[in-house]
Structure 1
Amino acid sequence: RCEEMLEALDEQTRAVAEGGFTAEEVQRVKNRRRTQLALEAENPRTRLMQMLDDLEATGYVRTVEARLAAVEAVSAKTIADYLKRYPITGDGLLLSCGPRDWPPT
């Protein structure tokens, strides 16, 4: 089952690298992320964790508006450009734990 999963994952990464995403797919993910950000901003603990993550990763804290602007900046083209700079196909490393034949057949 592990090999089947890896083959499916490899097939999907190749398809994305070659064909990219449709505008509809990108919009669907952006809508979901905007909703998540709105809900996260209303939760004090989650917002605090966002702020700490920002501070640790970048040295400054992004506002909720800045986070939303980052989501808005994403497009099929920006994703394609990113995948050209950081390819997801080819040799890679996958680490898994547990028996390779689980669940038993």
Structure 2
Amino acid sequence: GPSVGSATHGIHQRHAHGHPAQFRAYGSCGQCLHDYATLLSGDPRYRAALGTGNDVGAFAAALQRGGYATDPNYARKLTAVADTLSRVLGAEPLKLAAAAPIAAGSGTL
């Protein structure tokens, strides 16, 4: 599908290395979220993340263990962003939000 090039960085042996990369481009947020759900539900590396229920920290840690990101602090950073959004938006902690399982092939999140 369509893609866009952008500068990014990866972490290898505890050092960040900048490089250009191609990223998927989407026509809508819904398309992006559907693709993300398909990736997580279809790749056995991320199966543990789908079993974390409503716990954002456990979800992020399972993604990191599955190799989703090269940053060794990925789970901590993602959890911090979720916690900040929760505070800024005045919401309950995200790990308490209602969640429903992703049904493979359902097209629904």
Instruction: Assess same fold via TM > 0.5.
Output: no
Structure with larger RCO (C-alpha < 8 A, sep 6+) = 1
Larger Rg: 1
Using the size of structure 1 for normalisation, the TM-score is 0.28
The structure richer in strand per residue is: 2
